[in-house]
Structures are given as structure tokens and as C-alpha cells.
Structure 1
Amino acid sequence: MTTSPDAAMSPGAGTPPVAAQRPAVRRPTELIRDFLTVSEDFEAHVGRELTVNPTDLQAMEHLIMHGPSSPTELSRRLGISTAATTAVVDRLVAVGHAQRTQHPTDRRGVVIVPEPASVQKAMGTIMPMIMGVDGVLDEFDEEQQAVITAYLQRVLEVYRTHIPDAE
């Protein structure tokens, strides 16, 4: 099957489609790009399961992974203003994913606590995927797992070097 040179052009734009403009990379690098896309799709799926928007999902992730948090700490972790964080917390409380409780050592302060049922629902969605990914390693011997681990560690290092002010 032959294709005319114009068939690879974006309709009406006169320029090659974005895919044609990407630099040629090896298959593992393409797979990492695909992984990142699928990861975003999975995160959107989790958000739909919990009926939250992406910012609220990020807040839930922080509360689940790091435990109860003050609004100020949650604001810092999300990289949003305290006013925006108040709106996020209001939404999470309204849909039953979190509650405000009195700070254990500061009577004037509050902490945001994830609701156990919401944590259970989130983990029920996430853990089968995590265990499936982890199970894939069983298909490789220890030496191959060490190579895979080394490769992924180096990929993370490369990513981190391209993030300004990475923690």
C-alpha cells in the first residue's frame, strides 16, 4: 500500500501531524510515554470512581498516602492557595470523602482526615492495578528484575533532573 506525501499532513494545516514531529526513540522510551498516558487515563478513572475532579483527587491521594493534614499543609502539597484548598476540602467533605477534625495539639487548628470508607473505595480501585503491575515482575528472574529496577531508577533520575526545584 502506498501513501501520498499529502496523506501524512494534518488536514488543512500544511504541516505534518504531531506524531510525525516527534523525535525517533527506541521502543522502551515509547513504552514509557505510553505508560504515562495510560497512567493519566487510570487516574481519571479513579477520579470518576470517587466522583471527584483532578484537584480533589490529588488532595485525596495526599490524605491517603500521608494521613491527616492541616489545610495549610494540604495547600502546600497541592501547590494551590489556602482559599482554593478550602474549596477543595469543602467539596471533599460534602461528598463524604473527608472530615474536618480538631487538631490534636492546637485547639484553634483543624486537620483534614480522609473517611475510612473513601480510603477503602480508592484502595479497592487502585490495589488490583498495583498488584497486577507488581505481579508482572514474577515473570522475570532476579537478574532481570535487577536490570529492570536499575533502568527505572535511572529513568526517574533523568525525569527529576528536568524538574526545576524538584524536592
Structure 2
Amino acid sequence: MQIDPGGERPPARVRPASQHLHRLVELSSEFERGLARELGINLTDLEAMEHLIQDGPLSPGDIARRLGISAASVTIAVDRLSAMGHVSRQPNPLDRRGVLISATPDSRQRTMSVLMPMIFAVDGVLDEFEPEQQATITRYLLRVTDRYQEKVDRLGD
């Protein structure tokens, strides 16, 4: 992979590790699209489901903030997910007028049955390396995620 940002200078040489990391990001997106197809939902709905599965019941406003979409869009997404049996609404015990959205147990199990084998397979690759090598890999990935976070934070400004 050669990167030429805007054609302003000759392409930079990107090292193999960075090329593989880029491919991993692409494959991660492909995996998410496949998971969404498996669940019969779109990518926005999948992102909402990921938040609900990871963090438990959320208000529609919380979902909207996390996804960066409007309250009306959340209502449409929750209606869609509810009709397909992926989520349920319950009264919010802290707000008489509010509701909380939860992933249904069946949908959570179905999602996790696809995710967990992938997570365990990826984690298991580390067993192929010595503890010192694992520490180096971990340090590299931590530094890469820090750089990504810095760029994401700047884009949000």
C-alpha cells in the first residue's frame, strides 16, 4: 500500500506491519457488515446493538449521543430492532416518562455466538508468541490506538 495524501509529495513507504494493520481494519469492517447481515439489520442498528450488549439498558437519548444521530433516527432504529425481536423497551425506573432499551436475551446470544469465536481466535494468536513478544505487540497496539484516538479527538474539534 502506498499512501499519497493529496498528491502533494511522493508516496511514503508504509511498512508491512502498518499494511497488515490497515488490512485488519478493512476486515473488521467486513466482519461487522457480515454480522449485520446475519442479524438482518443495518450497520447503524448493529452499532446500537453493540452499545446495548456492552453497556446494558440505555435511554434513547443515550443511544442517540453514542451514535451521533437524532432522537427521531433512534426512534426509527429502535422500532425496527423491536419489530425484529432484537430489543425491548422497559419503563425507566429513574424517569416516569422515560424508557430504557435493552437487547433481548435471544438477540444477545445470537450476536455473541458470532462474536465470541472471533474474539477467542484472535486472542489465541497471542499464544504463538513468547511473553516478551506479547508485551511488545501489546505496546505497539496501545501506541497505535493512542495515535488513532488523538486523530479522532482532533476530528471532533
Same fold (TM over 0.5): yes
Aligned to 2:94: 105
Aligned to 2:69: 80
Cα displacement (A) at 1:19: 6.0
Provide Cα deviations, 1:30-87, integer angstroms capped at 9, x if missing partner.
0010000000000001101110000000000010011100000111011000000100
Q: Which has the higher strand share?
A: 2
| Equivalent AA in structure 2 for residue 132 of structure 1 | A
CA distance in structure 2 between the aligned counterparts of 1:158 and 1:107, rounded to whole angstroms: 43
Aligned to 1:141: 130
CA distance in structure 2 between the aligned counterparts of 1:29 and 1:127, rounded to whole angstroms: 26
| Equivalent AA in structure 1 for residue 136 of structure 2 | V
Aligned to 2:8: none
| Equivalent AA in structure 1 for residue 22 of structure 2 | R
CA RMSD of aligned residues (A): 1.6
Q: Which has the higher helix share?
A: 2
What are the within-5 Å matches in structure 2 for residues 10-159 of structure 1? 21=4, 23-159=12-148
CA distance in structure 2 between the aligned counterparts of 1:85 and 1:58, rounded to whole angstroms: 11
Q: Which runs of 5+ in 1 are unaligned?
A: 1-17
Cα displacement (A) at 1:108: 1.2
Count of residues in correspondence between the two structures: 149
Aligned to 1:14: none
Aligned to 1:6: none
TM-score, structure 1 length as denominator? 0.85
Identity of aligned residues (%): 48
Rg (Cα) greater in structure:
1
For the 8 Å contact 2:59–2:101, the answer to whether it is kept is yes
CA distance in structure 2 between the aligned counterparts of 1:127 and 1:159, rounded to whole angstroms: 25
Cα displacement (A) at 1:24: 2.0
